[in-house]
Structure 1
C-alpha cells in the first residue's frame, strides 16, 4: 500500500485464518479494500463493461419503459437517485443512470422480475449477466466466511461458526442483493460545477463488490484513518496476463450494524478528478450489493469480539430486532423519496 493508494490488497486465493485476519484488519479500519485472487478473467470483465455501455446507449424512451420499483429493480434515470440530500449543489439529483437486477436466484443467475427485452435478444447478453451475478454471489459468500473466521464466531448445533453469516445468504431465497450497471456521463456534457457524480453516502447492505476501469477513476472514500477524502485508484492484477484487476470491496451499513460497528461502513462518493473532467470521459462501473435473505433477523452476532461492544448496533440495550428487509426498505425510501 502506497501513499497514492489508501486501500489494503488482500489475496483470497486461500481461504484460511491468515487471510481472514488480513481481511478483518482492513474491514475494521478503512472498511474498504482491494480483493485479489478472485476467478474473473479480463475478457469477462471487458465484455460486461461493453454490455453495460451498449445498454446505456439505447434510447431514453426505451430504458424508461423499465422504471425502478420498490424492490429496487429496474432502470434508474438521470437524477433519480439522491444519495446525499444535504448537498444542495445536486438540485437535480445525482447525475448518473443505472440498471438494477434484483430479486435474484443465484443458482440460475436470473431475476424473477421483468428484465428489458434487449438483454434476451442476443443470448450472450443475458448469459453474461447470469455468469457474473453467480460468480459475484459466490465471491461474497467466501468473503462472509472469512469475516466469520476472523471474528471467531462460535460453532453451534445449527452450523459451524464460519458459516454463521453465509447460511443467511441462501442462493434461492429472497434478498435485497442487487447486480447493477452504472453510467456517469462525461463531465463536458454537464455543467462545470457538477463535479460530484454520486453524493457522499454509505451503502445499505452487508458488503459491496465493485469493478472499475482504468482511466475512469472517481471513487473517493472519507477515510476513518486519515480523516480526509482519499481517491481510490485503479490498480492492475498481479496474477498475470488475462486476469481481471482486483475488485474493490467495502463493508456496508447492515453488516456494520450487525457487528456493533466493529466492521466499518465508510462514507464514499464519486467525484470526477481533473484529468477526467478535462477529457470528458464517461465513467462506467459494475457493482454487486450483497444482502442477507429478507427474513434474516439482525440479532447480536455470537462472537466475543462483537459482544464486548455494548450499546451499539444490534448490541444496543433495548434495541428492537429488525429484519434485513426492514433495514433495507428504510434506506431505499430515503434515497428515492418513497414515503
Structure 2
C-alpha cells in the first residue's frame, strides 16, 4: 500500500490566534499546495454538506434527456457526460470516467443557466450551499493576505467580491461510477480524472467517507500518494475536513510562491495504493467549489514583499504558470480550451 499524502490539517474556525493561523495557512500553501481545513461546522455545517450530496445524487440520476438539455457550454456551465472532459489530454487514451455538472453564478437566488427539472425545486438549496462555499473562500483569501503581509491585507478578498463583477467561480457536482459499471475502462491504464492542477485561485473539495481515488503528485514529480478522506485526528469531526488546494491562477499571481499541486482520481485497484477503509466498489461522489477572482482582475504580481522577492517560480513543467495572460478570465479560458477538446473543436 502506497504511503498516504502528508497534508497538514488547519483549523481556521476562529478559535485561535488568526495571525498565527494565517501564517500556518500560507506556509502550508507554499510547501504542499493542499491543505485540510478542519470542519468544525462553524463555516459550513455538516448537515448542509449532507443535503448537497443528496441533491447531487438526485441530479445524476435524472433522465438523460434532462441532463443533455443542460450540456456544458463555453461559459463553463452545465452537464458534461462520461468521457466528455479530458483533464490530461497529453497522456489519456480516452476521456475522464466521470460525469459533472457545473453551476455558475445565481442572480436573485436563481441559476443563470438551465438546470434539470428533477432538481428545480431545490434551486435555492444549491444557491445557499454555493454561498457558504463562497464565504469560506473569502475568509481564506483574507487569511492568505494577512499571512503574506499583502498591502492592503484584504487584497485577495476584494478581488473576489461578487459586487465588483462577474467571475469564473463554479460549484461542481461530480459522479464517478464504480469500476464494475465502466467495463470499457482499463483499470491499470485509465483514470477517472486525468492528472491536472486546478485553474482558479483555490478549490474547496468535499468528499464522502470510504470513497477512494484521489491522489496527489509528490514533490519528486514521480510518485503518486493517495489522499485520505479522513486523515488521522479528524475521525470524530462533524464531517470530513474540507480539502483546500491552491489553483494555477493563485500560483501564477504570486510568482509561483504558492504551490499548485497536480492531482488525479484513479481506479484504486490492486497496486494503486488505496487508503485502508476506502474502496471504489460503490459510486464516488464529490463536490468542488472552484473560486476565481472577478474576471477583469489584472494578474500583476501581488503587492507583497515576500512575493516580490521570491525567485523560485513553478513554471517549469507547468505551462499554465507562465506569464502570458493579463486577466483572470484569460487565464481561465486558456485552461478550458485544453480540457474540453470536443466543445471547442466543434464550435470554433
Q: TM-score range by the shorter chain?
A: 0.7 to 0.9
Q: Distance in 2 between matches of 1:292 and 1:130?
A: 19
Structure 1: any 5+ residue segments left out of the alignment? 155-160
The answer as to whether partners of 1:94 and 1:197 remain within 8 angstroms in 2 is: yes
**Cα distance between partner residues in 2 of 1:212 and 1:169:** 25
Give, in whole Å, the separation in 2 of the partners of 1:39 and 1:237. Answer: 21
User: 5 Å matches for 1:40-59?
Assistant: 40-59=44-63
Instruction: Answer yes or no: is the 8 Å Cα contact 1:71–1:103 preserved in 2.
Output: no
TM-score by length of structure 2 reads: 0.85
User: Is 1:188 aligned to residue 177 of structure 2?
Assistant: no
Question: CA 1:5–1:267 in structure 2 vs 1: closer, same or farther (change >3 Å)?
Answer: closer
Q: 1:126 to 1:237 in 2, by over 3 A?
A: farther
What is the deviation of 1:47?
A: 1.5
1:176 aligned onto 2:180: no
Q: Which moved more, 1:229-238 or 1:254-263?
A: 229-238
Is residue 258–residue 313 contact of structure 1 (8 Å, CA) maintained in 2? no
Partners of 2:25 and 2:143 within 8 A in 1: yes
Structure 2: runs of 5 or more not aligned: 316-321
Q: Are the aligned partners of 2:104 and 2:170 in contact in 1 as well (CA < 8 Å)? A: yes
Q: CA RMSD in A?
A: 2.6
Q: CA deviation at 1:220?
A: 0.4
Whole-Å Cα distance in 1 between the matches of residues 137 and 92 of structure 2? 35
Of residues 18, 21, 24, the one that matches 1:19 is 21
Hey, what does 1:78 align to over in structure 2? 82
Counterpart mapping for 1:1-339 below 5 A: 4-14=4-14, 16-36=18-38, 37=40, 38-89=42-93, 91=94, 93-104=95-106, 108=108, 110-120=110-120, 122=121, 125-154=122-151, 161-172=152-163, 173-191=165-183, 193-194=186-187, 195-224=190-219, 228-235=223-230, 243-274=238-269, 280-310=281-311, 312=313, 322-337=326-341, 338=344
Deviation at 1:245, TM superposition (A): 2.1
- Corresponding residue pairs, total: 321
Preserved contact between residue 254 and residue 324 of structure 1 (Cα < 8 Å):
yes
1: CA distance, partners of 2:145 / 2:66: 44
Distance (whole Å) between structure 2 residues aligned to residue 150 and residue 235 of structure 1 = 26
**Is the contact made by 2:62 and 2:118 (CA closer than 8 Å) also made in structure 1?**
no
Deviation at 1:114, TM superposition (A): 2.5
C-alpha displacement at 1:134, in angstroms? 0.5
The CA distance in 2 between the partners of 1:79 and 1:262, in whole Å, is 34
Distance 1:29 1:70 in 2: 34
Alpha carbons 2:213, 2:280 under 8 Å: kept:
no
After superposition, the C-alpha distances for 1:74-123 in whole angstroms (9 at most, x for unaligned) are: 0111111000012243x2x1110011001345xx5543222233322x3x
Call closer, same or farther: CA 1:35–1:225 in 2, change over 3 Å: farther
Contact 1:40 1:244 in 2 (8 A): no
**Structure 2: how far apart are the matches of 1:59 and 1:237?**
40
Aligned residue number for residue 318 of structure 2: none
2:302 aligned counterpart, secondary structure: coil
Structure 1 residues 102 and 283, CA gap change in structure 2 (3 angstroms): same
Deviation per CA, 1:44-90: give whole Å up to 9, x if none.
2221111111110112122101110011000111111000012243x
